[in-house]
Structure 1
Amino acid sequence: MTSMTFYARTSDHGYETCVEHLSMAGCLAGGFAQVFGHLDDGLLAGLVHDLGKYSDAFQRRIQDPDHSGLVDHSTAGAMLLVQHGCPLASMAVAGHHAGLPDFGSRGELEGPTYSARMNRAFSAGSCGPLALSKAWEQQLNIPQSAFEKGTKPSNSIAMNGKSGEQSFYSDMMLTRMLFSTLVDGDRLDAEFFTSNRENRTEHPLLESLKEYLGADSLASEQAPKWDKLRKASLMVVSECDTEDRARIKQLADIIENKANQFLGKPNKKPLDIKRCELLAQCLACGQDTSYGTGLYTLTAPTGSGKTISSIAFALEHAHTNNLHRVIYVIPYTSIIDQTVNQFEAIFGTDAVLPHYSEAPYQLKDESDMDEMDLKRALAAENWNAPIVVTTAVQFFESLYSNKTSRCRKLHNIANSVIIFDEAQTLPVPYLRPCIRAIAELVKRYGSTAVLCTATQPELQPLLNESFNSEHAQAREISPFTKDDRNSFRRVTIERIGDIALNVLAERLNDHNQVLCVVNTRKKAQYLYERLTENDGEGSFCLTTLQCAADRQQLLSEIHNRLGAGKICRVVSTSLIEAGVDIDFPVAYREEAGLDSIIQTAGRCNREGRHSASESMVYIFSTEGGCAPFLRQNIAAFRETANSQVDLNTDEAIRAYFKEVLYLRDGGTSSNDALDRQCILSLHSFEERMPFATIAERFKLIDTPTVPVYIPLFDEGSRLCEQLEHGDIDRTLFRKLGKYAVNVWPRHLEKLQSAGAVLAVGRGGKNEESCFILQDMSLYSSLLGLRLDDATGDGIFV
């Protein structure tokens, strides 16, 4: 085989040699990894990741794929790295197609684990994936000194070493980061060779890299020497850094101009004056070189302009500290459009990458995309954009994932400013692993994290634990003192005790404009029906029993009626609380967590048109129980309310979060309650790097609900018909998302028994049937899906 030409892939315009692909992917991965100080690991992984293509079996397959079976071409490179003492890079190589596997036990031979694969390869010897031509040694010419530069894990797998959770966690996160650089470098070069997309942001970089390496030399199967490959990797990081700095500088200039326009406006109202103080402070802190990368809090009341002020700090801070991008993490998809629209209006669509399932470009087939859609779709693969707006689910699940598609973007989280909007919503059952991931990004990946909220959770014990320090203090950006925050007070919170739902409905009818937030969808529907018994003009119900398409239309109508001073009575579940820009003169909130109550209060007198004393938020309890996951929050609220005279204070908020986070939950220790799936304990030597197991367990949204699709409007009907006929493409389920109502299994059984739904095809994950609502009498845009009305009457023939 030494005299043959070794190809990595083919396309319509010819063949790419193994040398070209491995050199290009290696230099890209090395450059990406240099951002967090691991150039040699990335370069090594890229150079050997497809080493198995130097085999007769793979070359037969590339020449005649129709008559040749699949060939394992990743195990050989993984084996070479582990033999040279580079197990972290080895695991990244082993998983660059199928995902990071569990490490497994040393002696096992069966199964998909890393150890089993290595053991099988070693046992097979010259008959297995290690049956390579010696040509790779001459063509790649990797010196022994290169392997010596590879990172040795702090908990040495090879030596059965054992140390604390902190260092083992760091080894696993580094493996994920190296995996990310490899996957991105591999995919970028593959796409560059096969389709040469000029609308890809990295296209000029790929062209200059190939020119530097020497296209003729690569085609003639001779890789540059190791020193030149390292210089090429440094060129990659230098070009990326220059481009990123220029983009951030441009956006920082834009936000400065916008801010100065706002700050310079005459005749400001008292509320605007306070907003200007926050904005000016965020600009100043961002420009201050003493505010280096690290952990920050931005604690400011609802309505103080946190969104614009936080992005102002982020861009100025990124420019001052040479960071590459801003990642804005939002807890709910229901409010992400609002933030994206704000940012696009200021910075333009080119600068903003919205990455969530219902982003408009995600709902299109590639053939229907315009240039901006395609640019965003490509950037979403690796988050190569100056401003990324995403969800907490996407962000944290990616950090603990083992999948190539999710992990590909991880290296671009390094050296970024990460804003966690509504930080109090970080999920309690996963709070320890979430805070640990934030700490790792700050400590080892050069990122700045900002916890942004009106109700800052009491996280100090977790910060001390995660930063491995007793003094892991977050630095506050907000200029507001306690008195300043009191000056923002726009409501008075009052507990009114138990009240029957029918009496509550009468009380709501006494107001022309009122918001009432309850804990269950059933209560919301009941109250809405009571409000509409007579006339019902201006009454609205908002729950997740309505599909997102209907909720968006209803919110728009609510906003218009409030602005016009018309009757507007809204009963809603908690979906209306965080970030929805509406303003009611009075609000009612069923007992819940104090953070939720304050979020509801943020929808009352939002613009400060009335005094706090006349803008009431009434807290009530009623019959009907609550979801089990709310019990601890309600108990903590009651404990806090019994000990605090005023619930709308910093002291009350700290007391509440202390109750929620650090007291025992039904006899369960607090650490268990804050890491229900034991994610952190899986990052230990005893568990032996179970990447796949962790990814399976770390699901921020893990409910057994099933979507029922509503054939609503022309689009919904067309999409449901497409699903029914089995005409399924990659975007269908994303498009169907805004016509979905998620129901519990017992409710689905009821709908099925009544013949109200049609089971069709297979689900999005090819695991279960999909369901389309057939009996549209059970659904209305105003009320949503009526689960109690589903009966079996009349369905027998």
Structure 2
Amino acid sequence: MVNESSFSEFYSHPGKPLEEHLINVANLAEKNLKQCPSDIFKEIERDLLFKIVRISALCHDIGKATSYFQTYLFASEEKRAKLKAMKETNHGLLSAVAAFFVAKKELENSFLPFVAFLAVKKHHGDFEDVIDEATVEEKDIEVLLKQVDSIEEGKLEILSARLEEAGLGQKITANVLRGWVQSLPNELGVVRRKLRRLERQQSINPYLLTNFLFSLLIDADKSEVTTGRIIERTDGKLGYYLVDKYKSAMNAEDNYLNRLREKAYQEVIEKDLDLESRLISINLPTGLGKTLTSLAFALKLRKEILSEKGYIPRIIYCLPFLSIIEQNAEQIEKVLRANGFEVDTSLLLKHHHLSEVYYKKEEIEFEPDHAKILIEGWNSEIIVTTFVQLFYALLSNKNKDLRKFHRLAGSIIILDEVQSIPSNYWLLVREILKELTEQLNCYVVFVTATEPLIFSRSEMIPLVDRNFYFEKMERVIVRPRLEKDITLEEFAESLDIEDGKSYLFILNTINSAKNFYNLLKERIGNEEMIYLSAHVVPYERLCRIKKMKERKVKFAVTTQVVEAGVDIDFDVVYRDLAPLDSINQAAGRCNRNWSGKGEVIVVSLRDERRLYSSYIYDPVLLDVTRRILERYRVIEEKKFLKIIEDYYREVQERKSGDKSRELLEAVYKMKYDSTDETAGIADFKLIEEDYPRLDVFIELNEEANEIWKNYLRIKEIKNLLERRREFNKIKADFYKYIVSIPLKIDNLPPEVAGFRYVGNNVLREYYDENTGFICEGVVALW
């Protein structure tokens, strides 16, 4: 706490002395930096990193010392909106000026003062093109000078003294600030000339360094205002023996498949670790226990890093789809609980855009506001998250995405089902991941049955002899039936359904899946059948996947929602034509546990205009796949590896890397956002939206009814922050009953309290109990 007798009487937040906030943020940011490996950003001395972090943090809210901001802070709610809109109330630019000139005086490095300027200027906003960020207009200077003139000199003198005691190597007075503001245009002119040279250097380092320092600042700032502290880290007690113990307790049946799983597991665990090899591969056929194997490897590596390098790496387990996050997180939790761990959020964290806003460490359960900050800041030892969360932490201009960037330093990143990264981003992902391993000492582990050529095979360290395991596989055969493109009706009529076998049909669009479901229903009569697509609410989807896992259904018609990683098992899988890696993933849902011989049959389905596959997949990928499959009448599972290698090689040759190159140019230039025809980093979209969508709440059952009543109650709360806080409490449950539908349909449900809503009394008009939302007047794709 600040000594009240020497308190400036400036405030950063109601009841919070400004100097206390600035010093606390600096201490938290430094504490986070100390948790990172000591040799990150090798071209910059570690002392320099600590200096620039401390300068940025101690200066980041100095602009709040203006009378404009202090008046705004304590104004009535009616006046605050008007005061907030005044440019003089904004504190970011004046604070950035202070950070820039203090850093310029204290540091010899010519780039770091601008990083401090940029981080402080935008600590409440999103980045734009750095050339624009380094530009000030005459009216900006006028506002800055008015702000300086408004600061009470006596109070500023006390504030400056406190900051100097805390390590700021510069006395700040109104005259000093005024001089800085007046010389700012010339100084930024020099900076802009240097920034324009960045593109020629073709280096990702300035971008990574900027994001890292920005992340340290904004995470410390948000944490200080809410929790006021950093969650203490767990020591290195986590080791691969946890998985060993869990597996022993499972008493797995002694059969050929389990013996192969165990051999692969032991091969990975017994591999000698070279801590300087940071690009690692676990390439095994589907169903060989990659989740437990990769977890055990990461735990072993974590222990070794702690022993040899003296820091504790976080394990960041990334998956492409929400549908498998719960499954994998549950398996990891079982491993921890089987070893006597009390699994709280500081040990295992699930993070995606629909995560429950709940955070607990030991006996402390945090308030929703605090929990949200801790979750979004990845305050945990093992984080299970989506590709979207990871790659937007790496490639974004958004404050909320970049906040967790510093958590990547020294981490072990597991990319499970890595083949889900679109091929047009391979070059971009390769360059970013490579620099992450070199500059931030990350370890990247690819886990997949179909490893894409993001890196050459010689660049990756394989943990298993993949050829050995693929050659042992005889669970499945693939039969391509691509001589003729057929309609859904022709497909349904041609099916030969055998008694005693289970069937999974994976189609490419929601529309084709719905239509085929109805056609198949006519054929099989009263036999139970499951339908799955994104138009079925998540609550119901999870119930249906659980039934499929328990093998309680003989027939299932789905879109691609079941393809990667969902542990279901059918005797026969029919797959509409798709890129070869998707077909391979579909094969992983067939005879997974090796009872007899499974069949995967690939067909090419069309409507009256075109192939369903053409609505959603890249034509090059489809063409490469078709030409490879047409060479075979039957493909045995042991051949999968060679065929997928041929596929990826041809894709690499034929697919343009233009999209990656455009985004890499933006990264080199630090062009976070673009206002011209060239790409900005903000243009990176891991998942391309194929059409505008709208979220709809479906009041499916009593639970949904109660959730909706809660939502209506929350909407009545006038205070915005309180309203958000209350909604965060129900958010995870609320989104269990949401479907995303095309915006341009003829039967849009009515808007109620700011949300499209299908009440239980009109449920049948909008929602089919089997196939989900009923779209009228448009073809639903995904």
Deviations 1:13-61 (A, max 9, x none): xx44333222221122233235244222211111111111333434444
Preserved contact between residue 207 and residue 667 of structure 2 (Cα < 8 Å): yes
Where do 1:512-551 residues align within 5 Å?
A: 512-533=501-522, 535-551=525-541
d(CA) in 2 for partners of 1:282, 1:588: 33
Pick closer, same or farther for the CA change 1:409–1:493 going to 2, 3 Å. Answer: same
Preserved contact between residue 760 and residue 771 of structure 1 (Cα < 8 Å): no
State the match for 2:743 in structure 1: 745
- Which of the residues 648, 667, 672 maps onto 1:683? 667
Structure 2 gaps of 5+ residues are: 41-45, 105-109, 173-186, 307-311, 338-342, 717-722
Cα offset, 1:168, TM superposition: 4.6
Where do 1:305-704 residues align within 5 Å?
A: 305-322=289-306, 323-348=312-337, 349-350=343-344, 351-361=347-357, 377-460=372-455, 473-480=459-466, 482-497=467-482, 498=484, 499-506=486-493, 507=495, 509-511=497-499, 512-533=501-522, 535-562=525-552, 568-610=554-596, 614-624=597-607, 625-626=611-612, 627-630=614-617, 631-642=619-630, 646=635, 648-664=639-655, 670-674=656-660, 678-685=662-669, 690=673, 694=680, 696-703=682-689, 704=692
State the match for 1:759 in structure 2: 751
d(CA) in 1 for partners of 2:426, 2:149: 43
One-letter amino acid of the structure 1 residue matched with residue 536 of structure 2: Q
Cα offset, 1:738, TM superposition: 2.3
SS in 2 for 1:493: strand
Pick closer, same or farther for the CA change 1:576–1:605 going to 2, 3 Å. Answer: same
TM-score computed with the length of structure 1 as normaliser: 0.78
Counterpart check, 1:25 vs 2:28: no
SS in 2 for 1:496: strand
Cα offset, 1:252, TM superposition: 4.3
SS in 2 for 1:143: coil
Pick closer, same or farther for the CA change 1:314–1:320 going to 2, 3 Å. Answer: same
d(CA) in 2 for partners of 1:256, 1:166: 48
SS in 1 for 2:657: helix
Preserved contact between residue 503 and residue 571 of structure 2 (Cα < 8 Å): yes
Pick closer, same or farther for the CA change 1:694–1:734 going to 2, 3 Å. Answer: farther
Pick closer, same or farther for the CA change 1:253–1:488 going to 2, 3 Å. Answer: same
Deviations 1:304-350 (A, max 9, x none): 00000001111111111134210011100111111111111111432
One-letter amino acid of the structure 2 residue matched with residue 353 of structure 1: L
Pick closer, same or farther for the CA change 1:145–1:479 going to 2, 3 Å. Answer: farther
Deviations 1:675-710 (A, max 9, x none): 6xx32222244x755489846423323421222332
Preserved contact between residue 172 and residue 689 of structure 1 (Cα < 8 Å): no
SS in 2 for 1:580: coil
Structure 1 gaps of 5+ residues are: 106-112, 147-151, 194-199, 203-239, 462-470, 665-669, 764-768, 792-797
d(CA) in 2 for partners of 1:144, 1:163: 30
Pick closer, same or farther for the CA change 1:373–1:24 going to 2, 3 Å. Answer: closer
Pick closer, same or farther for the CA change 1:61–1:569 going to 2, 3 Å. Answer: closer
Deviations 1:130-165 (A, max 9, x none): 86545244332233799xxxxx99x96464561456
Where do 1:91-490 residues align within 5 Å?
A: 91-105=118-132, 113=133, 115-116=135-136, 120-124=139-143, 126-128=145-147, 132=151, 133=153, 135=157, 136-141=159-164, 142-143=168-169, 157=192, 159-160=194-195, 162-164=197-199, 168-192=203-227, 202=231, 243-244=233-234, 246=235, 248-259=236-247, 268-285=254-271, 288-292=272-276, 294-322=278-306, 323-348=312-337, 349-350=343-344, 351-361=347-357, 377-460=372-455, 473-480=459-466, 482-490=467-475
- Number of aligned residue pairs: 682
State the match for 2:175 in structure 1: none
- Which of the residues 771, 774, 778 maps onto 1:786? 774
Cα offset, 1:555, TM superposition: 1.9
One-letter amino acid of the structure 2 residue matched with residue 381 of structure 1: E
One-letter amino acid of the structure 1 residue matched with residue 54 of structure 2: L
Q: 513-522 or 471-480, which moves further after superposition?
A: 471-480
d(CA) in 1 for partners of 2:119, 2:432: 19
SS in 2 for 1:329: strand
Deviations 1:548-576 (A, max 9, x none): 222222222233344xxxx6111111111
d(CA) in 2 for partners of 1:688, 1:790: 38
Pick closer, same or farther for the CA change 1:129–1:403 going to 2, 3 Å. Answer: farther
State the match for 2:68 in structure 1: 57
TM-score computed with the length of structure 2 as normaliser: 0.79
Preserved contact between residue 318 and residue 413 of structure 2 (Cα < 8 Å): yes
Q: 504-513 or 727-736, which moves further after superposition?
A: 727-736
Pick closer, same or farther for the CA change 1:615–1:158 going to 2, 3 Å. Answer: same
Preserved contact between residue 31 and residue 39 of structure 1 (Cα < 8 Å): no
Preserved contact between residue 60 and residue 99 of structure 2 (Cα < 8 Å): no
Cα offset, 1:447, TM superposition: 0.8
Where do 1:26-41 residues align within 5 Å?
A: 26-34=26-34, 35=36, 36=40, 37=46, 38-41=49-52
Pick closer, same or farther for the CA change 1:8–1:577 going to 2, 3 Å. Answer: same
- Which of the residues 56, 62, 70 maps onto 1:45? 56
d(CA) in 1 for partners of 2:590, 2:400: 42
d(CA) in 2 for partners of 1:530, 1:719: 35
Preserved contact between residue 573 and residue 590 of structure 2 (Cα < 8 Å): yes
Cα offset, 1:658, TM superposition: 2.7
d(CA) in 1 for partners of 2:445, 2:458: 14
Cα offset, 1:398, TM superposition: 2.6
Deviations 1:397-431 (A, max 9, x none): 23223333332221111111000110000133444
State the match for 2:98 in structure 1: 80
RMSD (CA atoms): 3.6
Preserved contact between residue 508 and residue 569 of structure 1 (Cα < 8 Å): no
d(CA) in 1 for partners of 2:330, 2:448: 20
Preserved contact between residue 551 and residue 569 of structure 2 (Cα < 8 Å): no
d(CA) in 2 for partners of 1:572, 1:63: 56
One-letter amino acid of the structure 2 residue matched with residue 619 of structure 1: V
d(CA) in 2 for partners of 1:159, 1:788: 56
Pick closer, same or farther for the CA change 1:254–1:170 going to 2, 3 Å. Answer: same
Cα offset, 1:116, TM superposition: 3.3
Pick closer, same or farther for the CA change 1:787–1:593 going to 2, 3 Å. Answer: same
Counterpart check, 1:708 vs 2:735: no
Cα offset, 1:99, TM superposition: 3.0
Cα offset, 1:169, TM superposition: 2.9
d(CA) in 2 for partners of 1:266, 1:790: 49
State the match for 1:795 in structure 2: none
Preserved contact between residue 361 and residue 376 of structure 1 (Cα < 8 Å): yes
d(CA) in 2 for partners of 1:387, 1:343: 9
State the match for 1:236 in structure 2: none
Preserved contact between residue 663 and residue 684 of structure 2 (Cα < 8 Å): yes
Pick closer, same or farther for the CA change 1:82–1:783 going to 2, 3 Å. Answer: same
Preserved contact between residue 283 and residue 464 of structure 2 (Cα < 8 Å): yes
Identity score, percent: 24
SS in 2 for 1:578: coil
Pick closer, same or farther for the CA change 1:167–1:290 going to 2, 3 Å. Answer: same
Pick closer, same or farther for the CA change 1:289–1:735 going to 2, 3 Å. Answer: same
Preserved contact between residue 94 and residue 100 of structure 1 (Cα < 8 Å): no
Pick closer, same or farther for the CA change 1:412–1:673 going to 2, 3 Å. Answer: closer
